[in-house]
Chain A
Amino acid sequence: QKEVEQDPGPLSVPEGAIVSLNCTYSNSAFQYFMWYRQYSRKGPELLMYTYSSGNKEDGRFTAQVDKSSKYISLFIRDSQPSDSATYLCAMGGRGGSEKLVFGKGTKLTVNP
């Protein structure tokens, strides 16, 4: 079993839809949880950064962490074609951003 599991999709939604992206993990030592967005042939761009369980909202993006279930989610409201990208979840232990473990990424397409 990989430390971080993420459904690679692809996921295709109409513009304006609510998108739900998820990752599960097996390592209880993870304490920091991130979502990165990666456009084709570009580097990952940090979207959300959360510590431990709970919710964090930033504009149209909401990140949720449920440590008891070892499950994290990213919700995108009012999705736009510009949101079309690969979304990577990443996790860190006590050291935070040291040695991040990434999921495979979910490829999202938002259709106009």
Chain B
Amino acid sequence: DTGVSQNPRHKITKRGQNVTFRCDPISEHNRLYWYRQTLGQGPEFLTYFQNEAQLEKSRLLSDRFSAERPKGSFSTLEIQRTEQGDSAMYLCASSLQGANTEAFFGQGTRLTVV
């Protein structure tokens, strides 16, 4: 499979629990992005990596959120002490480095906090 892969596809968790999502980008892509999409809205940027370096974080990414890309390949997004407002689709995308490059999205992880 040459696309962006995200796991799990669905996650239901109780409020207050921690959750972790994984993203495997397209293998030759050195940029990796995380977005969040709530119902009826477009995706909103959370953060992005170039190789293992986290270059930008949105103010949407509260202290309870942390993302890593330790070896410049796959990435994880952890949410601590989940709240009902965290319920959303979490999307990962990847691209090559450079301005005129396209970002390709995975199928997303749908999080439901009950």
Chain A interface (Cβ < 8 Å from any Cβ of B): 4, 6, 8, 31-32, 34, 36, 41-46, 49, 51, 88, 90, 94-105
Contacts and interface: CB of A to CB of B under 8 A. Distances in A.
User: Which size bracket describes the interface of B in this complex?
Assistant: 20 to 34
Contact of A99 (B6, B56, B100, B105): B56
A43 B44 contact: no
Contacts of A97: 31, 33, 93, 95, 101-103
Chain A CB within 10 Å — which of B40, B42, B45, B103 has the most?
A: B42
B45 A104 contact: no
A45 B103 CA distance: 9
Nearest to A41: B110
A42 B108 contact: yes
A98 B48 contact: yes
Given A31-B99, A34-B102, A100-B103, 20 more contacts: A6-B42, A32-B99, A36-B105, A42-B107, A43-B106, A45-B105, A46-B102, A46-B105, A51-B100, A96-B100, A97-B101, A97-B103, A98-B31, A98-B33, A98-B48, A99-B58, A100-B43, A102-B44, A104-B42, A105-B40
Contact of B108 (A43, A94, A95): A43
Nearest to B42: A102
